[in-house]
Structure 1
């Protein structure tokens, strides 16, 4: 269960206002809108639903879980391993650079903020060194959640909710959709986010996989898209 302080820490860590640059990326959504694959609330909902069931976000969240557990267990070697692992799992240069930029920004932010009153046996400086540079966003989020002593189940749900909020926000701008339609989409995804978080927590290392070829193709198309609102 989350106490008030942990809940506030989670809300801050998963907030769209967190200065890590998430708002400047669309995860290939911009290319999908350009191609007409996503053009209304229903098609955007379907894309997000399929990503939650089979896509790379499941892999990202599962690696976040492993980073969290590595911090709690004091396993700095595992932290470095999973950071290298998730870098290798990125299918395009765009997705990799996004993860590195956001991860490095979050680690820098954690270092600049006052530390929690009850600290872990491993210092944030040692965790940063163990993860390595560049640091992926999933790794940095896991470190941040453990560092601020947020419940793991809640951290996974917050990670997925942050992802969905960012992509729905991108869809509101790109399709375009009204703000109310965007909030309706987020509500409709609530049960899927909850189910996905439970599945992700139960995944074993040998089960880590995704069927993300749609995202990979969209990301590659976005790298050479002529006009773009979002960063490549």
Structure 2
């Protein structure tokens, strides 16, 4: 089989909504923002996702995909452990940290069933692998190019949150697909910038996400876990 075609298929599988990691159960604060009226239609949902791609915490997550990928590539498991701990500490709220850990555990469990040789790598990760870290390890194992892995991670994130918005606002499926098309240029631009982020540039402006996530912890009725 052609190596490039195989890497594309591997990326489609890793970034697929069908991947059994429970991403569908999280809205990353969108449920609260809809209740507050801050997100009320397709335009405001798209605006929120655009701002998150350029300035929000998802940039840091995707940067951790890159660092996990690089650590595995050179066999530096100490760095892999460090960046996993760093990302855990950088999570803004308990809900966001728990969602990252839960999805990470699910992906690690799946990968160990499919690729048992990764056990020593995940043992080195330490306590509760974050989803972005496990994604980076999988991308390297499945020979997915680094830029494609980041594109896939961001597109998977956007797809999940657009799906949450469709249910919560609510929106039609066509509107959701139009948002994803409109986000493509932003995903490509964000990927290019994330790939060259230095360690000193690992920062985000995510106070809106933090406030929405903290409020969601005590929201009276909820469809989502974050």
Distance 1:155 1:95 in 2: 22
1:16 aligns with 2:17: yes
Query: 1:228 matched to which residue of 2?
Result: 222
Distance 1:90 1:5 in 2: 34
State the Cα distance separating 1:172 from its structure 2 match: 0.3
Which structure 2 segments of 5+ residues have no match?
none
Contact between 1:2 and 1:150, CA under 8 Å: does it hold in 2?
no
The SS at the match of 2:101 is helix
1:189 aligns with 2:183: yes
Task: Please list, as runs of the form range in 1=range in 2, the aligned pairs for 1:159-198 lying within 5 A after superposition.
Answer: 159-198=153-192
State the Cα distance separating 1:132 from its structure 2 match: 1.3
- Equivalent residue for 1:126, pick from 120, 125, 143: 120
Query: 1:118 matched to which residue of 2?
Result: none
The SS at the match of 2:195 is helix
Between the two proteins, the alignment pairs up a number of residues equal to 225
Distance 1:64 1:130 in 2: 16
Which structure 1 segments of 5+ residues have no match?
116-122
1:99 aligns with 2:100: yes
1:212 aligns with 2:206: yes
Query: 1:145 matched to which residue of 2?
Result: 139
Distance 1:196 1:114 in 2: 30
Contact between 1:30 and 1:222, CA under 8 Å: does it hold in 2?
yes
Query: 2:51 matched to which residue of 1?
Result: 50
Distance 2:166 2:36 in 1: 16
State the Cα distance separating 1:114 from its structure 2 match: 4.9
The SS at the match of 1:98 is helix
Distance 1:90 1:77 in 2: 21
Spell out, residue by residue over 1:16-62, the C-alpha distance to the aligned partner (whole angstroms, 9 max, x if none).
11000000000000000000000000000100000011000000000
1:60 aligns with 2:54: no
Query: 2:84 matched to which residue of 1?
Result: 83
State the Cα distance separating 1:97 from its structure 2 match: 0.2
For the aligned residue pairs, the C-alpha RMSD in angstroms reads: 1.2
- Give the TM-score, by structure 1 length: 0.95
Contact between 1:67 and 1:142, CA under 8 Å: does it hold in 2?
yes
State the Cα distance separating 1:2 from its structure 2 match: 6.8
Query: 1:110 matched to which residue of 2?
Result: 111
Distance 1:133 1:17 in 2: 26
Query: 2:42 matched to which residue of 1?
Result: 41
State the Cα distance separating 1:231 from its structure 2 match: 1.3
- Give the TM-score, by structure 2 length: 0.98
Contact between 1:37 and 1:43, CA under 8 Å: does it hold in 2?
yes
